[in-house]
Structure 1
């Protein structure tokens, strides 16, 4: 029986390298392995029989591990092929960068600001709702991690200014009449 230093099976590896060696090989990967065999035959490292046996085994190989095992005792040349690079030598791929999520803006703060801005065109009709939603928003903002404190404050200021303006107008009209 002919004992070969190489074979169609690769030795068992550990961890991530196992996953890489078990990956399916493509035509290009087999061509790279054949190139290594050709170079080794041309340099006198392989006999014609051994080259022929390994060539046939490369054509039957299904995984990177099988290809790597067939050329494992041969020099690869100046540029290592991807199937022969150990996983420890490959830099890990960093996870995709996702910017940190911004906190949500409190909807009552937005409502308060909009109602406060609408006080002038609506002749003060939205002043009281602007004040109420502004105070509710401030209460919610103290308990949550939401944004919108400035909006709630602006809604309160516009709302209270509108209430004060219309109260002064009513007092002035009552005093003159």
Structure 2
């Protein structure tokens, strides 16, 4: 997993400071900030793991500063160097913003609901069950996927209702 795949695109640094190569001590300092944030409950275990791995792979001060930029302890200390005359000042690093996770059952509900269309509703009940379970999980978590769960529920219930009407019509009109 590259550093670019777990958060927003990191802009190119405006000065040479953030492009300077980081050493083992610098990475350890960033990991210490991450450990403190995890211990204080500011990071989940997953966020800590992703950032820890990225800190171990970081090559520059800018990459390390990016990993801790949204933590109250602050970014990793960068070496002091006066900018050259006329050189642009370094912009603050972007705040780390992990991509929100989609609830797997919400995705499953949507897929099963969509499969009801070509399969004449064979996946309706599983779509409804996974949709309801996903909705209850989404109430207790910070995951995304409410729209997918609702779409899966709607398609699943339409399928179940269609089968119920078909069976009812067969019982009423087929018993001659």
TM range (shorter): 0.3 to 0.5
TM-score, length-normalised on structure 1? 0.47
Structure with greater Cα Rg: 1
TM-score, length-normalised on structure 2? 0.47
